[in-house]
Amino acid sequence: MIAADLGRVFEVGFNVGILTYIQQNQEKIDYRFVHMYRLDLQKLRFARMVEKIWEEEDVTSVDDRQIAKKWITFFVQRGFLAGLNFFQEYASYLMKNQTGRNKLEILYYQCNFYNENSLGTSPEDETKLFQRFLSQFSDPVLSIDHYAGKGEFLRADTLMLLRCKNDVRILSVDLSVFSIQSIKHMVDADEMTLLRHMLRREINRLRSKSIFTGLCIDTESLDFTFSENLARYFTAFKKEDKESAKLIQAASYAQSFYHFLLSHHILHTDDPVIFNIVGYTDRGVSTMSLNKERLGIL
């Protein structure tokens, strides 16, 4: 439970970081709905979220509560810096050849600060929430049921449709926290011996990984296919904390979103699109970039 809660806190921080960068760079980035999420954030109360975790994890002592609060604050800050730096680098890359008055256009940006992501402290009707996401498109979307299920794009952590000149991209990011699996792992940050123990555990985890965790796939190859043995590597679900599982989840959201865009004629089958898929955790980042000719990989 604590890992899931921290993952949501990390996700909130990540999207706040992205929104901050957008807000600070409005002369370069065109996004008309940033105010919508600013209003959502005004309803979040960090103190209530901390209290919710205390209650769920039965943290009663004053000292333990302060330790837990420090860790929760740390993951909010870590998520914020991750989102801010990630989107700064991503946007800078897309705009590197920008000339004249062309801006990076964010045609759709989806993130969620309600219900589970607020740890239940800021409830909202899901149907209304999803409809508000889709209000970013000029034409109303009447049917959303198909896209609200598990693995469908309305469940995505961070999802964008962007355009810079003729370059259209779908960015899908799935986020999680793996380093803290129990309230017992929230050691006193002032105790250096305990922190060294945590660091040693993480280093040993990295050493235990195989060489294939650093695998890089070039999907531009004309004859690109997965061999049977390599395809098995991407099943990824033998361990719940495997970073590639986040990559696969993000790919699922991207595929669902692309299907939605085609079915509602927001994009057309002959439109060139590049998919940027990201699994982002507190332990590492897994990425994949491909064009629509390689859609089957998603």
The model's confidence at residue 274, banded by pLDDT at 50, 70 and 90, is very high
pLDDT in tens, 159-181: 999 998 888 999 999 999 888 87
pLDDT in tens, 1-35: 788 999 999 999 999 999 999 999 999 999 999 99
Distance of alpha carbon 203 from alpha carbon 197, whole angstroms: 10
The model's confidence at residue 240, banded by pLDDT at 50, 70 and 90, is low
pLDDT in tens, 215-239: 555 555 545 566 666 666 665 555 5
136-152 mean pLDDT: 85
Domain ranges of the chain: 2-297
Chain mean pLDDT for the chain: 85
pLDDT of 277 strictly over 80: yes
pLDDT in tens, 253-268: 999 999 999 999 999 9
Structure tokens at 114: 């309600």
For the chain, list the strands marked E by DSSP: 29-30, 104-110, 158-164, 167-176, 274-281, 285-291
Structure tokens at 84: 């801010």
Residue with the larger pLDDT of the pair 138 and 54: 54
**DSSP-based three-state secondary structure for 238:** coil
| Span between the terminal Cα atoms of the chain, in Å | 29
pLDDT of residue 230: 62
Calculate Rg over the CA atoms of the chain: 20
pLDDT of residue 96: 83
User: What's the pTM value of the predicted model, to 2 decimals?
Assistant: 0.86
Contact (Cβ atoms closer than 8 angstroms) between residue 202 and residue 84: no
Nearest to 198 by CA among 90, 67, 102, 63: 67
Residues forming a β-bridge with 186? none
pLDDT of residue 239: 56
pLDDT of residue 293: 83
54 secondary structure, DSSP code: H
